[in-house]
Amino acid sequence: MSKKADITFAQGKFILMGELDMSNVMSVYQKSMGYLSQCEEMSFDFSQLKSSDSSGLALMIEWLKLAKLKQKKITFTNLSAELLSIARAARLDKIINSCQ
């Protein structure tokens, strides 16, 4: 049974929901691209995300690269201990923490 994850854009921020993994990360990324023209800043709220594996970190890195390319400010809020632990293991925690 595949896990479900989604992203919405409301009140100027992206809201991630569900369980993010390799089976659904591309659909979340593609959906987020559709909202980019609506925002001045890229603000991602992880409070509704139940779980994530390393694909969540990969997604964050893609958004970081895109923000740099588009010269937009990016923030990540309400990151789980699980996702921060993955970032720390990959030695990317300083980069991720700089966006909180």
pLDDT tens digits along 10-66: 988 999 999 999 999 999 999 999 998 888 899 999 999 999 999 999 999 999 999
Superfamily name and number for 5-97: STAS domain (3.30.750.24)
pTM for this model (two decimals): 0.92
Query: 100, 60 in Cβ contact below 8 A?
Result: no
Domain range annotation of the chain: 5-97
| pLDDT value of position 60 | 97
Closest C-alpha to 75, from 95, 90, 49, 50: 95
From residue 31, alpha-carbon distances to 11, 16, 82 in Å are 17, 11, 24
| pLDDT higher than 80, residue 97 | yes
